[in-house]
Amino acid sequence: EQKLKKIAKDCGVRVLGPNCVGLIDTNSKVNASFALGMPEQGNIAFFSQSGAMCIAVLDWALGQRIGFSKFISLGNMVDISEIDMLIALGEDENTKVILGYLEGVNDGRTFMQVAEEVARKKTIILIKSGITSAGAKAVSSHTGSLAGSESAYQAAFKQSGIIRARTITELFNYGIAFASQPLPEGPKVAILTNSGGPGIVAADACENSYLQLARISPQTAERLRSFLPSMASFYNPVDIVGDAHVERYEKALDILMDDKDIDAILVLLTPTATIEVKETARTVAEHVKNRKKPILCSFMGEVQIEKGTKLLKKHGVPNYLCPEDAVSVLEKMWQREHWLSSPKKEYPQILAERTRVRYLLEIAKREEHFHLTEDKAKEILKAYGFVLPKTKFSRTKEEAAAAAKAIGFPVVVKVVSLDITHKTDAGGVILDLKSTKEVKEAFTEIMLSVKSKVPKAAIYGISVQEMIQGAKETIIGFTHDPQFGPVLMFGLGGIYVEILKDVTFRVAPISKQEAMEMIREVKSYPLLRGIRGEPAADVNTLINGLLSLAQLALDFPEIIEAEINPFLVKSDQNGAVAVDARLTIRRE
């Protein structure tokens, strides 16, 4: 393959593959592939790092009569990569939506940069396989490249404007809608149905997503009331009841399309004895032609709705078997609109004592201390503006008692050792000590516990720290991903991280907006806003902490892992304190 690559480069020729299925271009009628069929023309392009996936998807798409602009198998990518494919399809005038099956990327940061540029012009929807440990191992053996972490890919896709599909079904559910429908201007959805149950299912799905149920205005409700029977629902979901006929759907659609407080419409239909399924489908298709706002359908059933669903497909109206699938598609459409309308990212300049950090890292490398002690890790954090608790180092229990008295009670005592990463697991941390007697007893208890649980650990002494009270416990950190570089992590401390895994990730660098999005994404975010009379946390300081840590990761790539746990965030405008920290340096 390397010989092939050299020949191609010397001759100025680009090579697709080898070990690929080939390519199809429907506009020029070229089928340079092992696939048997030629798909219909369309505005969707599909590329894949798996040839078998290409053949299977193409055969399925032929049966579904899904049109494509390009259909490309990348193979071993000796020359043309997934990045080249994004660039080419981004410039292809016949392509509106780019779909892809991805097993990995070799240059994550370039991939993100290119994807974001292309995503500003065209919708990119990708499946990324290898998200489990077994899948990642299979990808590694299949492509010969590291799979990278699932959290890194998830973050990279989100930051680059890529829509993530989990299944082939989702990939085409999303792709068909984006190829045929305008984006909603907002998250407010109206549900139009001829039966209560499906309407409730759709409403529940909206409530459990980033969408909102649109508020039907009194004026709109009055217009609906003028022709619907009294047992109908004139609010969201709009239920035109089981004996509905095509005229009810037509009038209701007209009225909902006119309501400026509705951003998207979901049309549900169950095949009752009175409904003309095909004519209702034709009515929906006519409204879609106006393209004012997206209209998605869920004609539920199979045999009785077949003529209607065929007509919807013919006119490019997305139809889904279940209302939840339609809601999922609308959610992705709104998220894309929101991403496109977001302000341009700006990365703030972080003031830091970089020379000091470089000096500390050089000493650590020289002494082969690749896991920094807490005090050394905190020195580095201090150089990047992090506030630290009052701390004194002690070698004896008498020194510890004196240190505690000088700091002021209550205090925390912690073991200091290069050999102990997780102090709590080793019994090396005791909190809320209120007297010199308690400090001396804690000193002895820690020494005995650590020697028992980690007998080979070299113990330097004890760290005595002020105890920060009335603050929210969070955790921030980063790891170095093989494809994307430093990946930042945020979560609330304690059980929220350890048990619930309630964390979010972003690839560095991040903007202030992205830092805020990280914080808002965790399910436990309401705790930071303040509940049951508690004051809100100082979120601005938390944002600055994330920005500073991201900058540290970029400035010093030899730091492959960092964690501040806990990062205690005080009430609004009162700051935050890096209570405990650990840093790991790459072995040269």
Q: Residue 50: pLDDT above 60?
A: yes
**The predicted structure's pLDDT at residue 136:** 53
As a whole number of angstroms, the distance between CA 294 and CA 332 comes to 12
Q: Residue 434: pLDDT above 50?
A: yes
Q: Residue 147: pLDDT above 60?
A: no
pLDDT one-digit tens code per residue, 247-282: 999 999 999 999 999 999 999 999 999 999 999 999
**The predicted structure's pLDDT at residue 10:** 83
As a whole number of angstroms, the distance between CA 484 and CA 110 comes to 9
Cα-Cα-Cα-Cα torsion 326, 327, 332, 336, nearest 10 degrees, comes to 110
The domain defined by 2-180 folds into Rossmann fold (3.40.50)
The domain defined by 188-341 folds into Rossmann fold (3.40.50)
**The predicted structure's pLDDT at residue 131:** 62
Crossing angle (nearest 10°) for helices 539-555 and 354-366? 60
Which of 370, 574, 371 has its CA nearest to residue 472? 574
pLDDT one-digit tens code per residue, 119-129: 999 999 999 98
Q: Residue 135: pLDDT above 60?
A: no
> Same CATH topology for 188-341 and 472-585?
no
What is the pLDDT averaged over residues 453-462?
Answer: 91
**The predicted structure's pLDDT at residue 137:** 53
Q: Which residue has the higher pLDDT, 138 or 368?
A: 368
Domain-by-domain residue ranges, the chain? 2-180, 188-341, 390-467, 472-585
**The predicted structure's pLDDT at residue 265:** 98
pLDDT grade for 63, boundaries at 50, 70 and 90: confident
**The predicted structure's pLDDT at residue 289:** 84
Among 53-57, 163-167, 171-175, 216-220, the minimum mean pLDDT is found in: 53-57
pTM metric for this prediction: 0.89
N- to C-terminal Cα separation, the chain = 30
Q: Residue 586: pLDDT above 70?
A: yes
Q: Residue 142: pLDDT above 60?
A: no
pLDDT one-digit tens code per residue, 349-364: 999 999 999 999 999 9
What is the pLDDT averaged over residues 441-461?
Answer: 93
66-80 burial, b at 16+ Cβ within 10 Å, e below that, comes to bbbbbbbbbbbbbbb
pLDDT grade for 470, boundaries at 50, 70 and 90: confident
Which of 466, 395, 394, 400 has its CA nearest to residue 436? 400
CATH architecture observed for domain 390-467 = 2-Layer Sandwich (3.30)
The domain defined by 472-585 folds into D-amino Acid Aminotransferase; Chain A, domain 1 (3.30.470)
Contact between 100 and 127 (Cβ < 8 Å): yes
**The predicted structure's pLDDT at residue 2:** 79
Which of 348, 313, 301, 340 has its CA nearest to residue 118? 340
Work out the mean pLDDT of the chain and round it to a whole number. Answer: 92
As a whole number of angstroms, the distance between CA 475 and CA 454 comes to 25
**The predicted structure's pLDDT at residue 501:** 83
pLDDT one-digit tens code per residue, 290-344: 778 999 999 999 999 999 999 999 999 999 999 999 999 999 999 999 999 998 8
What is the pLDDT averaged over residues 371-375?
Answer: 89
Residue 457 burial (C-beta neighbours within 10 Å; 0-12, 13-18, 19+): middle
**The predicted structure's pLDDT at residue 423:** 86
